[in-house]
């Protein structure tokens, strides 16, 4: 998979009926040529890291409920669940149901106070991260 790497500056964040619109300023010397040539409306998978003044990345820590929501949308996580017999289907709904079953919860909000669910989720994430390392 070829990736496009560039530095940008967040200029605006707006919302419309379909979602959020993020405007990023890219210096002309930083603009990757393929990005310049792609049509408006082209889809991208985006990974971003905020840079500190010393060029080091800012580390963000997501809550378990947020992390769970992101993982259930992730196709690699969905495949992990299928390959480890937690579910039979690789889709978001099946991943959510498997997560609830594994962690013995009925809602992600239970991660806020349920220590046992937190331990089960943390172990699942650890197992998934090991799987994902070998996947790529």
The alpha carbon of 50 is separated from its chain's Cα centroid by a whole number of angstroms, namely 15
Least confident of 62-66, 71-75, 93-97, 104-108: 62-66
The angle subtended at Cα 96 by Cα 43 and Cα 19, nearest 5°, is 35
Answer whether 10's CB lies under 8 Å from 50's CB: no
Q: Count CB neighbours of 17 within 10 A.
A: 4
Of 42, 60, 78, the last residue of a domain is 60
- Specify whether 41 is located in the same domain as 75: no
Q: Count CB neighbours of 4 within 10 A.
A: 12
With 90 as the cut, is the pLDDT of residue 136 above it? no
pLDDT confidence band for 54 (50 / 70 / 90): confident
Segment 53-69 shows an average pLDDT of: 84
Q: Using alpha carbons, list the distances in angstroms from residue 42 to 39, 76, 86.
A: 6, 22, 34
With 90 as the cut, is the pLDDT of residue 71 above it? yes
- Specify whether 84 is located in the same domain as 115: yes
Give how many domains the chain has, as a whole number: 2
């Amino acid at each position: 998979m070829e990736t496009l790497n560039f530095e940008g500056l967040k200029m605006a964040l707006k919302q419309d009926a379909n979602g959020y619109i993020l405007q990023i300023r890219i210096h002309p010397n930083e603009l990757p040529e393929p990005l310049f040539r792609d049509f408006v409306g082209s889809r991208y998978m985006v990974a971003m890291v905020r840079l500190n003044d010393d060029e080091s990345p800012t580390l963000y820590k997501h809550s378990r409920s947020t992390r769970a929501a992101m993982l259930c949308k992730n196709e690699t996580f969905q495949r992990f669940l299928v390959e480890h017999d937690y579910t039979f289907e690789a889709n978001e709904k099946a991943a959510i149901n498997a997560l609830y079953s594994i962690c013995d919860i009925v809602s992600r909000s239970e991660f806020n106070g349920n220590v046992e669910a937190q331990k089960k989720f943390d172990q699942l994430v650890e197992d998934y991260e090991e799987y994902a390392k070998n996947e790529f």
